[in-house]
Amino acid sequence: MKATIYHNPRCSKSRAALTFLTEAGTDVTVIEYLKTPPTRAQLADLFHRANLTPRQTLRTGEPEAGPLKNATDTAILDAMAEHPILIERPIVETSKGVVIARPPERVHDIL
């Protein structure tokens, strides 16, 4: 099976999800999303496929999230495209679906 992980190597949850994928024998494409951010359209598609709203995938603890407290999903997507640190991680995509792998074991839902 093939998978794509939008990964931050400094994040323990992201590293754990990547470990689950590799231990399962998955052919993994790793995208360090802070270096190579997904486009706004890609984010919208991933969140739609994960059945999540942009607000549900917003890292609210980041300083850039402060102004987004009452923002629309459109504004949140715009902010995520501009500041990828706002994107909750890790996002894992396979042919079976998309999950935010928090906890990392959620990867098993799409393997």
CB contact set of 69 (below 8 Å; sequence gap of 6+): none
Q: From the candidates 1, 6, 7, 11, which is the catalytic residue?
A: 11
User: Using an 8 Å Cβ cutoff, are 86 and 65 in contact?
Assistant: yes
Q: Residue 31 corresponds to which amino acid?
A: I
CB contact set of 43 (below 8 Å; sequence gap of 6+): 54, 77, 80, 81, 87
Q: Is 11 a catalytic residue?
A: yes
Catalytic residues: 11
